[in-house]
Structure 1
Amino acid sequence: MNKKLWLTYGMLTFATSTWGSAFIAGKYAVQSFEPATVAFFRFFGAVILLIPLMFVMEKNRQKPNLKDYGLFAVLGLTGIALYNIFFFLASKHAPVIKSSLFIASNPVLIVLLSALFLKETITRNNVIGLAIALSGAFFIITEGHLLSLFKLGFEPIDFVLMGAVISWALYSVVGKVVLKKFSSVESTTYAVAFGTLFLLPFALSETSWQDVQQATGTTWFAIIHMSVLVTVVSFVMYYNGIKEVGAAKASIFINVMPVSAVIMATLFLGENFTSAHAVGAALVLSGVYIGTNPRLFKKKQAGKLVKNEIA
């Protein structure tokens, strides 16, 4: 495996690990603001950083045409506005076990949509790796009690969680189309700018100036963290990963998110790190390794063919 590929996988791991901290930061932020307002402040801060970053990093950038702006608007609507409204609503109203479970199922839909619309080749390793990583994510979320999944009844909030999964899958797949023409920094900047505009009416309708003044320092720190690390740094890294290895393979790394969320919850919220979490983390990392290593099973198959020919 070449150094560039290792760097891409490292960036994808860092990006999705950082997203795990959004569960913790979001928990603090929704104590002062409504979900859409948290999302607006997060991306408003991010776009202030992204625009100058784009001008510095992309000297020879192309001017988007009307179709490009349409695609950027779709990215802003799906991955920025809708996904985050759904995500923060779930943070406030849904059990963490259920929210995490729905988000963890995201890679499955991304792989299916990538195969259908982008004609990406889905290998056996991708499927095996995804299945192992997904089982690890479920193991972490349920703390080893997989049967508890069947005890969770269907509730209205589940439609919100389904909306989050569909929104992010569309964002990942449409993003691959945009990345054929624009860099990861350009794509992220335009998507975040459109998403911020879509979130503005919601924020204005549900938040007063008094709410802004009364927000705690912890809330603002959580929002700044989500703006800088979770959005600017991680989104650019994730989009670069999609550009380098495809949406299907990049999506396998989303399973790292519940691992980091559990570790951060242990460190910052005082939650216990159990043996079930350790087993789940091992499964996730194994799944990611298998899903991103195309030569893993080929050598064994080659050896079998040689033996058959000798026989």
Structure 2
Amino acid sequence: MERKKLWLIYGMLTLATATWGSAFIAGKFAIESFEPATIAFLRFLGAAILLFPIMWFFEKNRPKPTIKDWGMFALLGLTGIAIYNICFFLASKHAPVIKSSLFIAANPMLIVLLSGLFLKEVITKKQIIGLFLALTGVVLIVTEGNAGVITQFQFEMIDLVLLGAVITWALYSVLGRVVLKKYSPIVSTTYAVAFGTVFLLPFSLVEQPWNAIGTATPAAWLSIAHMSVLVTVVSFILYYYGIQQIGAARASIFINVMPLSAVIMATIFLGETFTASSMIGALFVLSGVYVGTYVHKKRIKRLRHAS
């Protein structure tokens, strides 16, 4: 794999995970008008409407899924689309942003562990060092330099919801690596989103969304549209492409960019202060991503010959 292509993949992963940071902001606007499962359903319904024409146009020679493949797509939809997003938006409504961010920051560690156990991906010392550097940066950012606030948290039921979000996204990333051996990122994302939308429908109906549709604010609708197009269609395809090219373990390091981008966007759109601890944390995150993904020139040559 050439250095230029490698850096292009890193740029795509950075863009994808930075865009996910905006979901924290968009979720805050959407949750004022809709309940969690309804937000998730509308988000992925919009994404599915966009994804299928894209897939039909660009992937005309896609493989025909077997029964086993449909089962894998269903698992992707259940984990990374349905359960994860219900947990995410429940946390947006009931959990402090600090706690939510800290739980989600544990995602790369779990993905690396599962990738090593089930996908037999090689986990290097640099990746582990990079993960710890990035995790340190995330803690600094979300606690504003006062790590003592973590000790003030008490166990609550919402913690189980946040744990569910972490586990299901890790499973989505690892299962996706298996699916991507046969299918392109566009096809994998489209079918996963389709199944996830179907799974989300009954949960949305329980919330009686028709009562909120007429009174929803323009900001809520714009937030859902943003999450459908950029956070889902564009970013999910970029993320899956990154996993396909460099593996789930190394790609997962870029998830640490998400809370950093969330803090920057909160500063811009919500008027929050970008503190000195946020700046230091950002340097740790960027350093961790660099250390964890840096590939020596000699190794690039080996990868190029192997591909």
SS at match of 1:189: helix
**Residue in structure 2 matched with residue 64 of structure 1 by the alignment:** 65
Segments ≥4 residues shifted beyond 6 Å: none
Shift of 1:83: 0.2
**Residue in structure 2 matched with residue 25 of structure 1 by the alignment:** 26
Q: Name the CA distance, whole Å, in 1 between partners of 2:290 and 2:204.
A: 41
Give the alignment of 1:241-280 within 5 angstroms.
Answer: 241-280=242-281
Q: TM-score, normalised by structure 2?
A: 0.95
**Residue in structure 1 matched with residue 173 of structure 2 by the alignment:** 172
Conservation of the 8 A alpha-carbon contact between 1:37 and 1:206:
yes
Q: What one-letter code is carried by the residue in structure 1 that aligns with 2:90?
A: L
Verify: 1:106 aligned to 2:107, yes or no: yes
Q: Name the CA distance, whole Å, in 1 between partners of 2:183 and 2:218.
A: 37
Q: Name the CA distance, whole Å, in 2 between partners of 1:234 and 1:70.
A: 23
Conservation of the 8 A alpha-carbon contact between 1:33 and 1:207:
no
Shift of 1:152: 1.2
Shift of 1:79: 0.1
- Which structure 1 segments of 5+ residues have no match? 299-311
Q: What one-letter code is carried by the residue in structure 2 that aligns with 1:95?
A: P
Highest Rg: 1 or 2? 1
Q: Name the CA distance, whole Å, in 2 between partners of 1:68 and 1:208.
A: 32
Shift of 1:7: 0.7
Conservation of the 8 A alpha-carbon contact between 2:34 and 2:209:
no
Q: Name the CA distance, whole Å, in 1 between partners of 2:65 and 2:209.
A: 36
SS at match of 1:59: coil
Shift of 1:153: 1.4
**Residue in structure 2 matched with residue 93 of structure 1 by the alignment:** 94
**Residue in structure 1 matched with residue 117 of structure 2 by the alignment:** 116
Q: Name the CA distance, whole Å, in 1 between partners of 2:95 and 2:136.
A: 21
Verify: 1:226 aligned to 2:196, yes or no: no
Shift of 1:295: 2.7
Shift of 1:207: 2.1
Q: Name the CA distance, whole Å, in 2 between partners of 1:233 and 1:45.
A: 13
SS at match of 1:146: coil
SS at match of 2:148: helix
**Residue in structure 2 matched with residue 161 of structure 1 by the alignment:** 162
RMSD in angstroms over aligned alpha carbons? 1.3
Q: TM-score, normalised by structure 1?
A: 0.94
- Which structure 2 segments of 5+ residues have no match? 300-307
- Name the count of aligned residue pairs: 298
Shift of 1:52: 0.3
Conservation of the 8 A alpha-carbon contact between 2:107 and 2:166:
yes
**Residue in structure 2 matched with residue 51 of structure 1 by the alignment:** 52
